Amino acid sequence: MRHVIKCLTEEGELNDNIELDLSEAELLKTYQTMVLTRILDTKMIALQRQGRIGFYLSSYGEEACSVGSALGVSNNDWFFPAYREQGAMLLKGVSLHFIISHLRGTSEDEHKGRALPGLFGCSSKRFVAPSAPVGTQIPHGVGAALASKLIGDNIATIIYFGDGATSSNDFHSGLNFAGVFKTPSVFFCKNNQWAISTHVDSQTSSQGIAVKAQAYGFDGVLVDGNDVLAVYLATKTAMENARDGRGPTLIEALTYRLSSHSTSDDGSRYQDQIEYKKWLNKDPIARFRKYLNNAGIWTVEYEQELQEKFDRQISDIIAQVESSPMPSVDTLITDVYSEIPSALKSDFEDIKNI
């Protein structure tokens, strides 16, 4: 039986001996961000179904992982996300307008409409855009951490990836390099138990993911990924250790993918429905809500106001984004060529005249 770090019981009671350093305002901001993330996911799936955005990757069920981990990361640290970290972005102040502009690929998209919707970063908030091949952000984040160590700027990196990515070469080379050079990096594995239709049991024959850290010479911890406070405390400790020169940590956050892999997938065709329902009952938002209710800082009226406010806010931003122009044809070469190469000139002119 593996030891799982937990702070909250299923009933939202704080376990004994947990020292929580969060103010009431911080607790509420955390909760609000989890709720906002879920509403954003729901509305973006609807938008994709209506053909108004091309593709979407939801974080349904995994909100405690993204929001709780980001809460443990300081504003100077760098994020190397995968593609379900919208909650971390929202917590760190990436705006809804920024995210929805990216998904729609308008002229206000930082990636100029070139990136697959969902594979994006935000330079001002220190989120580096991931590449499409699974796991490639792992060595990127380790390299950035090594640079910080050499410069001595006291910055750590947090690198997100899924259970499926642990089978990539980049996972093994990234963690090995981090162990040898003691880079200030934290590896945050969201074990949502699925890599599209491949169950985690077919991904590895080791006892979960956290244990793999031993082979690379640093600590691995298993945390309840549906317990936002446990995720926060584990990440905060790991980031502090990284910054203070105590080396990397691998965090395995055990959760479950309640959405399909993407809007191009139907998880109900392969996810066991009994198992699915079991995890539906472990909803991370409901669990945290029980805690806030027990603490006397959540009410039904508050919830209703929150839901209505976020629903309206997102709808207003969708309307703004949909009235924004698409990127100009010139942006096909911006950041790529200083001037159009002669071989592309006629293609470029043809596109301009469409």
DSSP assignment of 169-210: HHHHHHHHHHHHHT-SEEEEEEE-SEETTEEGGGT-SSSSSG
Candidate list 135, 139, 162, 184; residue touching Mg ion; CB under 5 A: 162
Q: Give the residue with the Cβ less far from ligand TPP, 128 or 332.
A: 128
- Please report how close the Cβ of residue 138 comes to Mg ion at its closest, in angstroms: 14
Q: Give the residue with the Cβ less far from Mg ion, 113 or 208.
A: 208
Residues from 151 through 170 that contact ligand TPP (CB under 6 A): 161-165
Q: Give the residue with the Cβ less far from ligand TPP, 118 or 184.
A: 118
Under the binding rule (CB under 6 A), the answer on residue 84 touching ligand TPP is: yes
Q: Which of 38, 243, 261, 287 is catalytic?
A: 261
Candidate list 1, 25, 132, 300; residue touching ligand TPP; CB under 6 A: 132
Q: Give the residue with the Cβ less far from ligand TPP, 204 or 324.
A: 204
Contact between residue 64 and residue 226 where contact means Cβ atoms under 8 Å apart: yes
CA distances from 176 to 229, 242, 293, 311, 351 (A): 29, 16, 44, 44, 46
Q: Which of 99, 32, 43, 90 is nearest to 66 (CA)?
A: 90
CA distance 239 to 242: 5
Binding pattern to ligand TPP, positions 245-274, x when CB under 6 A?
A: ------------x---x-------------
Candidate list 163, 170, 224, 227; residue touching Mg ion; CB under 5 A: 163
Provide the CA 183 distance to its chain's centre, in angstroms: 21
Provide the CA 40 distance to its chain's centre, in angstroms: 14
Contact between residue 8 and residue 292 where contact means Cβ atoms under 8 Å apart: no
Q: Which of 97, 126, 199, 270 is catalytic?
A: 270
Sequence-ordered strand ranges (E) for the chain: 78-80, 157-162, 185-191, 194-195, 198-199, 219-224, 249-254
Under the binding rule (CB under 6 A), the answer on residue 133 touching ligand TPP is: yes
Under the binding rule (CB under 6 A), the answer on residue 117 touching ligand TPP is: no
DSSP assignment of 87-136: HHHHHTT--HHHHHHHHHT-TT-TTTT-SPTT---BGGGTBPPPPSSTTT
Q: Give the residue with the Cβ less far from ligand TPP, 40 or 292.
A: 40
Quick one: what does residue 165 bind among Mg ion, ligand TPP, none, with the CB cut-off 5 to 8 Å set by partner type? ligand TPP
Q: Is 257 a catalytic residue?
A: yes
Contacting range for Mg ion; rule: CB under 5 A; set: 106-114, 187-195, 260-268, 343-351 = 187-195
Contacting range for Mg ion; rule: CB under 5 A; set: 190-198, 267-275, 303-311, 322-330 = 190-198
Q: Note the residues at the interface with ligand TPP (CB under 6 A).
A: 82, 84, 132-134, 161-165, 190, 192, 194-196, 257, 261
Looking at the annotation, which residues are catalytic? 257, 261, 270
